[in-house]
Structure 1
């Protein structure tokens, strides 16, 4: 029955994938465009694993067939066929491309459909993606887009075809105030998604890739060591924006958009949950800004919050946003840029930086 190990084509074609592993395995890490339609659930897999250790492979397979039969078997086959009906180019995999994917493929064939499975399964595809990440520095030159908080780096980055959006891939805004309601991907998924993105960009033919100025960690996700070290060698392009624009951008992100996010999230007291989240973020930076500044910014915040409750207007929040920019973010930025001043190759407005970076597409 057909197998494939042309993993690059799977990435470039966004091939839909059926992951027949147990949910506990899928949750640890999977691939773009993969759906978990299991052959065995967690309990069944556990029991089969015990039988394998005690009595060997043939007895383990026998137990698997005893556990997954009748209506249970029919329902699992139907879930595969339903997916294949809407995704006729789908492929399937298990952990090593062994018994589980072979059995699933055979049952699908018996039902009148053909499907290709990944040779070597999850493990082989995962190793391919890790190798591509490890070797990617040999195939492109990096450019780092820097700028003060609120300068609109992410907005500009999305307009650049040869950019890699680390914050988007990590589902995090890259700061103490960067929490989103949806969880960050597992480290494995972050690496897989990053590899997908870089493989696609390099296949287009880009010789330069643009990254936002981030540390190695983006929330709980972190870049592989080889790539993180390589980005440290990159030239810096600095986006310069007026304070008013920076306040507006940060205000929209931390206040307007964030409050909408909580409201859309179905919280009974969405505004109160947002308030607690902002105060929690402020407490996390207390040691960095000192007790006096912490007390001042929380006082400003509470005043603005109470004003919003009273009048429903949001403008008062701009005061604490500006205070954070001036007293917290800017000093950190100035210190970091000073250490890397020799790497700064260009400074300019959004239009000027966009035009400059276009030279490297």
Structure 2
């Protein structure tokens, strides 16, 4: 008997849908529907085992083994899903196949009213790709620039019309940007970005931090990159001492010798052997503030100034603190929009 099926687009009009992802954790962590709950039918080891059986002994053997493994989990599974029975629940696996269908069938056989997601995660990915291909900003776009450590991200967190691309990517967008960050996959990044874009239709404007084409391993989609690069540019000016302290506070909890030294080695082609060796010496001596200052003055600042030399800035704002500076930028933009 077929089970109730619904497309992802159809669920978007629901007030509080609950998505349950029954894929293995190794699949879920790479990407999933935002806010989905992971209740895996098979754990990572079981999934790999069943996959091996499928390729070596055929579909029937893999199916029987899958049923055998899943049957041992029925009590716990039904106990979990019973906590959701009063909600609008959509269950999905990779293709909307046997994993999600069997769970929906089982739950509905005892009185629940759950749905299977049509096409599963794969169909959801089609939605994400199409959305990013077709998306157009309908409000003015602004871009905040500033040297490393200027406090751009801190400021943007206090502006209500900002999208934090680095948060979506799980990376601070530099060689050191992965430290203390989850480093999301491209697919996860796109899912988070679509989730953000779907909420901004009523915004007065949208402001981003100036980024290159990539944040860590994530490529910024063209619809966002083009708007970001063509947005009205604002420069955030922050004294060197504050920049050094910002970077120290942000990265110091994650700095270890076995992590830092290989990163410094990657700077050698641009900084040269002597400067790279000097950076390592500063670190080993515990002169972290001096190391940060040296890296800024001899690597990051020249690189950033070169990359922004052709940008015309509509305003220069002096960093005071995140809240005050955010308020100044917001007022500046609102004044411009009201003209």
Superposition TM-score, scaled by structure 1 size? 0.78
2:83 to 82, 85, 90: 85
Does the CA contact (< 8 Å) of 1:19 and 1:35 recur in 2? Answer: yes
Are 2:23 and 1:21 aligned? yes
CA distance in 2, matches of 1:290, 1:30: 42
User: Cα deviation per residue 1:180-220 (whole Å; 9 max; x = unaligned)?
Assistant: 34541221111111111111223xx1153211111111111
5+ residue gaps, structure 1: 55-59, 260-273, 306-315
CA distance in 2, matches of 1:139, 1:84: 43
| 3-state secondary structure, aligned to 2:199 | helix
**What pairs up with 1:45-124 in 2 under 5 angstroms?**
45=51, 47-48=53-54, 66-69=64-67, 72-76=70-74, 78-79=76-77, 81-83=79-81, 85=83, 88-124=87-123
CA distance in 1, matches of 2:77, 2:104: 13
**Compared with structure 1, are the counterparts of its residues 323 and 23 closer, same or farther at alpha carbon in structure 2 (3 Å cutoff)?**
closer
User: Cα deviation per residue 1:199-258 (whole Å; 9 max; x = unaligned)?
Assistant: 1223xx115321111111111112123432332222211111112211111121222x33
More helix by share: 1
CA distance in 2, matches of 1:237, 1:249: 20
- Identify the range of structure 1 (24-33 vs 162-171) with the bigger mean alpha-carbon deviation: 24-33
CA distance in 2, matches of 1:298, 1:229: 38
Residue number in structure 1 paired with 2:322: none
Residue number in structure 2 paired with 1:278: 260
User: Cα deviation per residue 1:149-179 (whole Å; 9 max; x = unaligned)?
Assistant: 1110010111112211111111111111112
CA distance in 1, matches of 2:153, 2:29: 29
Does the CA contact (< 8 Å) of 1:347 and 1:353 recur in 2? Answer: no
| 3-state secondary structure, aligned to 2:238 | coil
Residue number in structure 2 paired with 1:234: 231
**Compared with structure 1, are the counterparts of its residues 349 and 73 closer, same or farther at alpha carbon in structure 2 (3 Å cutoff)?**
same
Residue number in structure 1 paired with 2:244: 247
5+ residue gaps, structure 2: 320-324
Does the CA contact (< 8 Å) of 2:179 and 2:251 recur in 1? Answer: no
Superposition TM-score, scaled by structure 2 size? 0.83
**What pairs up with 1:118-133 in 2 under 5 angstroms?**
118-133=117-132
| 3-state secondary structure, aligned to 2:200 | helix
Aligned residue pairs total 323
- Identify the range of structure 1 (222-231 vs 165-174) with the bigger mean alpha-carbon deviation: 222-231
Q: How far off is 1:98 after superposition?
A: 3.7
CA distance in 2, matches of 1:193, 1:48: 33
| 3-state secondary structure, aligned to 1:163 | coil
Residue number in structure 2 paired with 1:154: 153
Are 2:287 and 1:287 aligned? no
CA RMSD of aligned residues (A): 2.9
2:254 to 254, 258, 275: 258
Does the CA contact (< 8 Å) of 1:19 and 1:38 recur in 2? Answer: yes
| 3-state secondary structure, aligned to 2:188 | helix
| 3-state secondary structure, aligned to 1:185 | coil
